[in-house]
Amino acid sequence: MSFYRQSLRLNDIWQRGNRPTILFLLLLAFWLRTYHLDDQALRGDEAATVLYSALPVTDLWELSRVTDPHPPLYYLMLHPWQWLVGESAWAMRFAGVMASTLAIAAFYTLAQQTLRQSIYTLPAAALLAINPLQIWLAQDIRSYPFMTLLGLLSSWLLWLALHPRSHQLPMTNDQLLITNYALRTTHYELHSTPHPSRLTFYVLRFTLYVLFTVACFYIHYYTAFLIAFQALFVLLNIRRFWARRWAWLASQLAIGLLIIPGLILAYNFIGQAAGGIEKIPTLDILRLASTALLTGFTIADAWGLWLSLLLLPVWLNGLVALVRRDFKTGSFWGLFFAVPVLGVIALAIDRPFFKERFLIQAQPAFELLLAVGFITLTQKTQFPKKLNPSLRFTFYVLRFTPLALLLYANLLTLSNYFIDPAYAKAPPWRHYHNYVRRHLQPEDVMLTNFPEAAVSYYSPNGLPFYVVPVERDRSLDFRLEETAKIANAYRRIWFLPLLRQGFDEEGEVLNWLDRHADRVDQTFFPVYHLNLYLSPPAIESLLISQPATFAHGVHLRGYQVLDEKGRSRLTPPSETTSEYLLVLEPEDSFNLSLYWLADGPTPVPYTVFVHLIAADGFNRVGQDNQPVWGSYPTTAWSPGEKVTDKYRLTIPPGAPPGDHRLQVGWYQSDTLERVAVLDPAGQPVSDHIRLNAIIRIE
């Protein structure tokens, strides 16, 4: 029996159960795409999509012209969706889930329309349904699932428009043999024209093809590669479509005219990279592209590389098999895969324009080539009749090993995505903001030094939120002035430091807060940490005044011992004592804040010492360092600058009870010579000061 007849016989077996099977695949795809849909926090682009979609419709074109390097249709579609279902992560992601699931149905329909053999199309639909990249992007509030769906619908409508006599239902074996024989031995298609009674449907197909193609372009500019594939397919098969040449040319002219405004929008961003994309070496692009198409990008690089090399002959075999079977169908799916992939790669060579998600439009074609490759390799494998049973079993195992490895890799990738925090699409922003929400007080403010939309999205309602700087490459003076302005307007500052290229790379906003506000708490989360500061006005209200002048031009304004909420831990003086009191036990810790005032920079850097002295003069515990945890030497201080300086002291285990005093002073580190404390007349009176606070150990 010939290979072709064997395929038809196997196809009969597949046809009997294809409807329940495709329904099962759609349900499986839907379940995988809704599984843990909102477990992971929104990444920055997702949160930006939520914020952009909430804008007035009239602002969306201007947004795409000036700010966002994506066309406006996706935001326009989400605008009523967001109004209807709200802006929760689950609700907003569900739109992509529906589009991605419908894309499976559209892909199966298109594959059946072109191949008419479920033995190929059902496995291809199954591979697309469980593909990790498709699932990752379906659970992402971005346009890629809609781009995939509209691209498939556009290609399907083009196929229908070019084949006005084609049947939508699969043919029987006899019909398929007769039709293929006719197409190979006559010029049936070359001279066929639509029947007048079908002219309306013929025009409607081309019209819908134009509309879906243009809509896809206004979802994502990379639809240009889809348009290129479709045009190249028609030109390569122009003899078959000669009767539809004028209608096709008219459709291309209509598409070209309708996408001109979008091309103008895209031109505004030529030379720029969306989302801070970096240049990637060409070989790495090829590796990332093949890995993403097979297993997504939540898998170790080595896995993806070896699997790509192993399956390369499989999908190449699928391409060759399709072309040999029917050049028209083979060229359709081959170009559907090759043109978008090669276009994305070519655009990214030596340019910052590559992301794996840009390949998603070509993925359905890739899965079909892979499925055809698997099936044809299986069908072509023949074993000798007298082969040893154990060897026969070994050959069967080896024959299905590539498919088993692919399925295992997909399972591993999905497991990483759903379970392993190392592969999370975004930091757990909700943890940060839930913590803030639990500890929020009136007159608090949230501040970050990078315009991360997810931080704004999760920020508690009613909490003022600022970004400094909000734009790239703003000057240092501007950043510090804006930081000071915000810090002086509130009592407490929640700060999430995000050091990103072009914004606050050196952490100058963080440095300003560390030096001029008072960090009272620091909470560590995965990826980032969260700082809480007492603002400069709040410092002034809580500062315990104890002015002192040191000989090197630095003045002590006062001090304070604060808890993690910014409240004083010191008991005020009473009728029986004129000093503040802090009662501790062995192994307890406390944070001492010293507030300095500078006359100006010093010639050499000086070191601060803080010692806890027992009644007998014993130095129970101490800490020596340059100011602000050693990060801000006095040689860099400015005239009139107020500096906050923190020290953490821990009572040693087994420390005996008793009252202790805090001694503070300065010395020159290279000579260990202490700096004198001056009286109002400028005369040295001591080499340290004693704070008017008692640290009582019980």
Per-residue pLDDT, 333? 96
Share of the chain above pLDDT 90, in %: 61
For the residues 411-429, what does the mean pLDDT come to? 90
Alpha-carbon gap, residue 360 to 315, rounded angstroms: 17
* Cβ-contact 456, 505 below 8 angstroms: no
Q: Which secondary-structure segment (H or E) carries 568?
A: none
> Where are the strands (E) in 404-524, listed by range?
444-448, 465-467, 492-496, 518-524
Q: How far apart are CA 301 and CA 320, in angstroms?
A: 28
Q: What pLDDT is attached to residue 271?
A: 58
Q: Which tokens go with 558? A: 């006062």
- pLDDT (0 to 100) of residue 387: 56
Q: Give pLDDT tens digits for 592-643.
A: 999 999 999 999 999 999 999 998 888 989 999 999 999 999 999 999 999 9
Whole-number mean pLDDT of the chain?
A: 87
Q: Answer whether residue 168 shows pLDDT above 50.
A: no
Mean pLDDT of 109-134: 92
Name the more confident of 456 and 125. Answer: 125
pLDDT band at residue 657 under the 50/70/90 scheme: very high
Residues 562, 564: Cα–Cα separation, whole Å: 7
381 beta partners? none
Residue 533 is predicted with a pLDDT of: 97
pLDDT digits (tens, 9 = 90+) for 349-376: 887 788 889 999 999 999 999 999 988 8
Torsional sign, CA 380, 385, 387, 390: positive
SS3 labels along 176-245: HHHHHHHHHHCCHHHHCCCCHHHHHHHHHHHHHHHHHHHHHHCCCCCHHHHHHHHHHHHHHCCCCCHHHH
Question: What's the burial of 109, exposed, middle or buried (CB within 10 Å: 0-12/13-18/19+)?
Answer: middle
CA 316 to CA 313: how far, in whole Å?
5
Residue 372 contacts residue 318 (beta carbons within 8 Å)? yes
- Strand order across the 554-561 sheet: 642-650, 589-598, 554-561, 544-550, 677-678, 684-686
For the stretch 299-334, pLDDT in tens is 887 777 888 888 888 889 899 999 998 999 999 999
d(C-alpha 140, C-alpha 124), whole Å: 23
What value does the mean pLDDT take over residues 184-192? 43
Helix axes 144-162, 199-217, angle to 10 degrees: 150
Question: Could you tell me which of 430, 423, 427 has the C-alpha nearest to residue 500?
Answer: 427
Residues forming beta bridges with residue 529, ordered by sequence position: 524
Distances (CA, A) of 611 to 558, 671, 690: 16, 19, 10
Looking at the chain, how many residues does it have? 698
State the alpha helices, DSSP H only, in 139-198: 144-162, 173-185, 188-191
As given in the structure block, the two tokens for residue 63 are: 């947004």
Q: pTM to 2 decimals?
A: 0.83
Task: Indicate if the pLDDT at residue 1 is higher than 70.
Answer: no
Q: Please say if the pLDDT value at position 507 is more than 80.
A: yes
Whether the per-residue pLDDT at 187 is higher than 80: the answer is no
Q: Checking DSSP bridges between strand 684-686 and strand 677-678, what pairing results, if any?
A: antiparallel
Quote the pLDDT of residue 189. Answer: 43
CB 487 within 8 A of CB 494: no
Q: At 386, is the pLDDT very low, low, confident or very high (cuts 50, 70, 90)?
A: low
Q: What is the DSSP string of 30-52?
A: HHHHHTTTTTSPPPHHHHHHHHH
Lowest mean pLDDT among 16-30, 177-191, 611-625: 177-191
Model pLDDT, residue 481: 94
- Tens digit of each residue's pLDDT (9 = 90 or more) over 221-272: 999 999 999 999 999 999 999 988 999 999 999 999 999 999 988 887 765 5
pLDDT of residue 175: 44
User: Does residue 385 register a pLDDT over 80?
Assistant: no
The residue with tokens 């801000």 is: 632
- Domains and their CATH numbers in the chain: 3-422 (no CATH), 429-536 (3.30.110), 543-697 (2.70.50.30)
pLDDT at 4 over 80: no
Structure letter (DSSP) for residue 675: P
C-alpha–C-alpha distance, residues 137 and 429, integer Å: 19
CA 463/CA 446 separation, integer angstroms: 7
The region, left, alpha or beta by phi > 0 then psi within -120 to 50, assigned to residue 597 is beta
Residue 680 has pLDDT above 70, yes or no: yes
Q: Take residue 223 and report the two structure tokens written for it.
A: 């639809």
At 240, which amino acid appears? R
What is the spatial distance between Cα 485 and Cα 488, in angstroms, rounded to a whole number? 5
pLDDT of residue 463: 92
Question: Per the structure block, which two tokens stand in for 688?
Answer: 């340290």
Answer positive or negative: Cα dihedral of 15, 17, 22, 28: negative
Cα separation, 438 vs 435, in Å, equals 5
